[in-house]
Amino acid sequence: MLFITMTAQTTVVLCLLVKAAWGEMKFPPGFRFGAATAAYQIEGSWNVSDKAESVWDRFTHEHKYYVDSGSNGDVACDSYNRWKDDVRIAKELNLHFYRFSISWPRLLPTAFSNKISDDGRNYYNQLIDALLEEGIEPIVTLFHLDLPQRLQDLGGWANPLIIDWFANYARVVFSLYGDRVKTWITINEPLLICEMSYSDSNLAPGIESIELGNYLCAKNVLLAHATAWRIYDEEFRPKYHGKVSLTNILIWYEPTTGNDSNLGNLANQLCNGIYTHPIFSKTGNWPQSVIKIVDERSKLLGYPYSLLPEFTKKEIEFIKGTYDFFGMNYYISKSIRKSLVNEHIPLWPLEGVPILGAILESQPTWTSGATKWFSAHPPGLRKVLNWIRHNYGDQEIYIMENGYATADTELEDFDRISYLKDHLEQVLLAMKDGVNVTRYTIWSLMDNFEWSDGYTIKFGLYEVDFSSPERTRTPRKSAEYYKNVIETHSLSDFYVKNEL
């Protein structure tokens, strides 16, 4: 009797302990998990039916030397033909949602609404319907780097007319799919579209227009997003009740020493705030610190006015508040320090910040992935989430991408599991800090064409066999891990420990 009582008490105590531990590791009931891909990176079929050429088709075909191994997205994961496989593996993982993007030149061969491609329209209809049938929410990105080449020929994102061109496209997409798609991303990662595509030649369209094109692009991207949001708000929200925002890639710039903290603040505004402040802050407009830095720089270079184009008062009001959630992607942090005398300062946003005279590095304790820019620092995610709250108040935050790059096709990808676990842990810690994160998305559902890294780096929960005509998708260990996180709605710490 005594023995039984003691056991019962011990069991109760143990249960409480376990519950406390799990309680901290648990995500709240409404929290949703998903995985992401993007059209050019998976679809292939670049020249079927009436599909037009995108900047990435042109870039990979003409500038083979810029992309690793001269590869391209001509076939990629062949998702244009094998979308049923994508839905099947999304279901296998029990994803709450699947984030994919629509190819503008596939849907609108002229880039305008005068001609909607039947095949393009049907392709996305089938995909959306199949996902819904499996109980997986489709989250759709309108623009994920694959601009119609026809528009690039007219200046692309540097031409202010793109605001209307994009709005016209957005209206078509909302009207075709808005009855079933309730969560929209207008534009993915302005930092890549404007800074990296204009500052070095690694990303299409590969225009070197540092300190000019990047700023013109930034203004137009923000206005295009705001216009699309307002179109949804006025014409579609009343009947469809969905949510629209953009997603920014946020890099956490960590001061290397205590003396670099101001540099860290400035870099966070220059690379992150430039695309978020105009939309999410109470005042709107570019961050004041960025206006000041670029103004001084422009004067120094003898320009007649600031290289950062001004917003009119009307534009500031027009852009401000055009969101229904805060979308963000996070992969890496960078350690920032003042450059030494005569030290070469490489291009930003990954290696240096010339305008600040600063060098970007990794710290010794941070881990690197398969590619040199990948400096993983999980606490950076918590810091960036708190940075959002500090700058823009309480926001509902959707993490729309986070993932780990490996160099080989390894199925036993414990490094990826550690990365995911460590980052999910930081999400939970940030939530304890009071940050309201409600969605988490892994990049990527499967290996795909990783832009200038081609097929040399892998981000997939599923391995894709690019040498087989079937482009066979095979789950990695991380797929099992993530499936378990989703099913238990908590961090599967035990799985990692047991298996490692």
Q: What's the closest the beta carbon of residue 46 comes to ligand NAG, in angstroms?
A: 6
Examine residue 211 and tell whether it contacts ligand NAG (CB under 6 A): no
Q: Which of 50, 53, 68, 74 binds ligand NAG (CB under 6 A)?
A: 74
Closest to ligand NAG by CB, 139 or 173: 139
| Part in contact with ligand NAG (CB under 6 A); list of ranges 77-85, 147-155, 162-170, 255-263 | 255-263
Closest to ligand NAG by CB, 29 or 258: 258
| Part in contact with ligand NAG (CB under 6 A); list of ranges 180-188, 252-260, 363-371, 402-410 | 252-260
Residues in 390-409 at the binding interface with ligand NAG, rule: CB under 6 A: 396
Examine residue 69 and tell whether it contacts ligand NAG (CB under 6 A): no
Gap between the Cα atoms of 39 and 372, Å rounded: 25
In this structure, what is the dihedral angle of CA atoms 246, 251, 255, 256, given to the nearest 10 degrees?
A: -170
Residues contacting ligand NAG: total by CB under 6 A: 8
Q: Looking at 137, 189, 315, 425, which residue is catalytic?
A: 189
Q: What's the closest the beta carbon of residue 399 comes to ligand NAG, in angstroms?
A: 14
Closest to ligand NAG by CB, 409 or 436: 436
Q: Looking at 401, 425, 450, 463, which residue is catalytic?
A: 401
| Part in contact with ligand NAG (CB under 6 A); list of ranges 5-13, 254-262, 328-336, 472-480 | 254-262
Closest to ligand NAG by CB, 351 or 396: 396
Token digits of residue 456: 């040399």
Q: What's the closest the beta carbon of residue 259 comes to ligand NAG, in angstroms?
A: 4
| Part in contact with ligand NAG (CB under 6 A); list of ranges 81-89, 140-148, 251-259, 456-464 | 251-259
Q: What's the closest the beta carbon of residue 279 comes to ligand NAG, in angstroms?
A: 16
Examine residue 47 and tell whether it contacts ligand NAG (CB under 6 A): yes
Q: Which of 7, 113, 126, 257 binds ligand NAG (CB under 6 A)?
A: 257
Q: What's the closest the beta carbon of residue 394 comes to ligand NAG, in angstroms?
A: 6
Gap between the Cα atoms of 105 and 58, Å rounded: 12
Q: What's the closest the beta carbon of residue 349 comes to ligand NAG, in angstroms?
A: 24
**Annotation says 470 is catalytic:** no
- Print the SS3 string covering the chain: CHHHHHHHHHHHHHHHHHHHHHHHHECCCCCEEEEECCHHHHCCCCCCCCCCCEHHHHHHHHCHHHCHHHCCCCCCCCHHHHHHHHHHHHHHCCCCEEEEECCHHHHCCCCCCCCCCHHHHHHHHHHHHHHHHCCCEEEEEEECCCCEHHHHCCCHHHCCCHHHHHHHHHHHHHHHHCCCCCEEEEEECHHHHHHHHHHCCCCCCCCCCCCCHHHHHHHHHHHHHHHHHHHHHHHHHHHHCCEEEEEEECCEEEECCHHHHHHHHHHHHHHHHHHHHHHHCCCCCCCHHHHHHHHHHHHHCCCCCCCCCCCCHHHHHHHCCCCCCEEEECCCEEEEEECCCCCCCCCCCCCEEHHHCEEEECCCCCEECCCCCCEECHHHHHHHHHHHHHHHCCCEEEEEECCCCECCCCCCCHHHHHHHHHHHHHHHHHHHHCCEEEEEEEECCECCCCHHHCCCCECCCEEECCCCCCCCEEECHHHHHHHHHHHHCECCHHHHHHHC
Q: What's the closest the beta carbon of residue 324 comes to ligand NAG, in angstroms?
A: 9
**Annotation says 189 is catalytic:** yes
Closest to ligand NAG by CB, 386 or 436: 436
Per-residue x/- mask for ligand NAG, residues 425 to 444, rule CB under 6 A?
Answer: -----------x-x------
Per-residue x/- mask for ligand NAG, residues 346 to 385, rule CB under 6 A?
Answer: ----------------------------------------
Token digits of residue 84: 């049923």
Closest to ligand NAG by CB, 61 or 88: 61
Active-site residue list: 189, 401
Q: Which residues bind ligand NAG (CB under 6 A)?
A: 47, 74, 257-259, 396, 436, 438
